[in-house]
Chain A
Amino acid sequence: MIGYIIIAGIVFLAIIAYIVIYNGLVSTKNKVEQAWSGIDVQLKRRANLIPNLIETVKAYTKHEKEVLENLTKARTQIMQAGTNVKKASQADNELEGALKSIFAVAENYPELKANQNYLKLQQELSNTEDLIAAARRIYNSNTAIYNTKIQSFPNSIIAGIHKFKNSDYFETGEKAVPGINL
């Protein structure tokens, strides 16, 4: 009789542990997704500033068609990346590269550099980049916690049964927009 009680106790504890581990994995996965949506919001916000920037730059520069086209292309890629972290990460790197070029080009146009609308856009972009960087750190930290959870024992068994997969890190380059004080 005691043997049965012990076995029943062990089974009961195993079920509880299973539920706790499963719920823990689900909640961590949700946090990764929530952090991703934080990045997504900021990426879209930045992408929405690009058309305005292109229009402003266009008005002052006549021979920088290629730079502007690259920027438009990178923006489209960001908008199309959706929830694919790798694609979004690549598109973000390209957009940052295009932004760097456009700000380098702007150095040759003093009138553009003095334009209030341009300066405001530059400030907005710089703030958004800071927010993207912070959101990226949160996402990557959550991802590290989540990946460690699903790889460590005994979580790995439950993660395997329920097909929890490793989440990709969001990797990106340096800040593209120089910060300015208005």
Chain B
Amino acid sequence: MNILLGFLFMGILALIFIGFPIFFFARYFYLHTKNVTEQINDDENNPKNYHKDSYGYFNVQGHKFWDPVQESLNFERMKRDNDKLMTKYDKIKDRKSIRKKKFWFWILGAVLSLYFIWFGIVSFEHEGSESLIAIFFGFVVIFIPIGIYKTSFFSLKKDLIKFLYAEQMNWLYSPNIDYSKIEKLNNSLKNYFAKGNSGNHIEDQFWGSLNGKYFQLGLYQYQITTGSGKNRHTQTYHNTYVAIKTDKNLDLEFILRPESEKGWFKKDIETESIDFNKAFAIDYFLQSDNNELLATKHLNPKVITELVDLQKKYGKFTIFFKKGYLLFLFPNPLIKGTKTNFFKSPEVAKEDIDSINYSITQFINLSEELIKAIR
């Protein structure tokens, strides 16, 4: 009897610590492969896609959008992804279904918990301290199923906040992972989007306009793996990029990057500001003798002070000064913590909407300031 109980005990532990992770990994792998295949099928030559007009805009259903590197927008795919989001959201809105599922996850937790406690008590005489561990684990295990259920809402919640905000602003939003865009960004921006040794992709993309400025925003995610064997360590990084279309074409394309960031091709720039010189290094798209002169012309006192302030506020960011647009690459995600709780209410918290609105408005305003200062 005890052997049978032991096997059952080990089986449940194996399910929790090995079975679930394998299931989630397999699911992720399946969705990833499906995604890539779909993207290949939806390539730029797809006649259903929206293509840029002669002014560089996409005209999608009466609204104008812009993108720094893409020549076409797959609106159908975007709509499909958003519909999937809405279907999930509809399920959340159905409070009965949520409560029912929640109840059954609590029951599952309670059953597991009771089993562990019972196992601990029954085998106490034979197993000693191991039984105590089982009893202790019994009190903890009650929260595991409901915890897993709640976690499954985590990324959905973030996507929904962004989607609902985009809809409110008449912008386009795609929660989907985009692998093909990385290559285009790298071609235009000197391989600055090739930071990771795996998992390089763009997701959570917005296309829209604010205060008459057309922008495109996205989350650049990558992973860096160091060491090997037991010392192997993988770290995931989230960067937000914001590209803003400018009316003015600069006579020099250059990159301002954090001085402290490692890299072979950076060059110190000597302006009159000690703070600026400590904070930024410069990199050029094309090497030329009069680069420095032209760059200094653009970096007037107003631009310099603006950039120093921004670095204090947003951390170490990189700016690409390109003909026709500015692109900011920030070392943090657009949304960090959220207040929305779908278990309490199906509505997205006002604080979350305000927070995303604040971030995007800040990005647009700062680029506007920068463009004005460059004049």
B-contacting residues of A (Cβ < 8 Å)?
28, 31, 34-35, 37-38, 42, 130-131, 134-135, 137-138, 141-142, 145
Contact = CB atoms under 8 A, between A and B. Distances in A.
B304 A134 contact: yes
Nearest to B304: A138
Contacts of A35: 272-273
A87 B268 CA distance: 35
A51 B259 CA distance: 44
B150 interface: no
B302 to A, nearest CB: 4
Question: Which of B272, B276, B300, B305 has most chain A Cβ within 10 Å?
Answer: B272
Contacts of A138: 272-273, 275-276, 301, 304-305
A134 B275 contact: no
Contacts, number: 39
26 contacts: A28-B274, A31-B274, A34-B272, A35-B272, A37-B272, A42-B301, A131-B300, A131-B302, A134-B300, A134-B304, A134-B306, A137-B301, A138-B272, A138-B273, A138-B275, A138-B276, A138-B301, A138-B304, A138-B305, A141-B273, A141-B274, A141-B275, A142-B272, A142-B274, A145-B274, A145-B275
A138 B305 CA distance: 7
A42 B301 CA distance: 10
Contacts of B301: 38, 42, 131, 134-135, 137-138
Contacts of B305: 134, 137-138
If over half of A's interface residues share one DSSP class (helix, strand or loop), that class is named, otherwise mixed; here it is: helix
Nearest to A146: B274
B272 A134 contact: no
Interface residues of B, number: 11
Contacts of B276: 138
A135 B274 CA distance: 12
10 pairs of A and B residues whose beta carbons are closest in the complex: A134-B301, A135-B301, A134-B302, A34-B272, A138-B273, A134-B305, A35-B272, A137-B305, A38-B272, A142-B274
Contacts of B306: 134
B128 to A, nearest CB: 64
Interface string B269-280: 000111110000
A72 to B, nearest CB: 27
A58 to B, nearest CB: 30
A141 B273 CA distance: 8
Contacts of A37: 272
A73 B302 CA distance: 28
A35 B273 CA distance: 7
A31 B275 contact: no
A131 B300 CA distance: 8
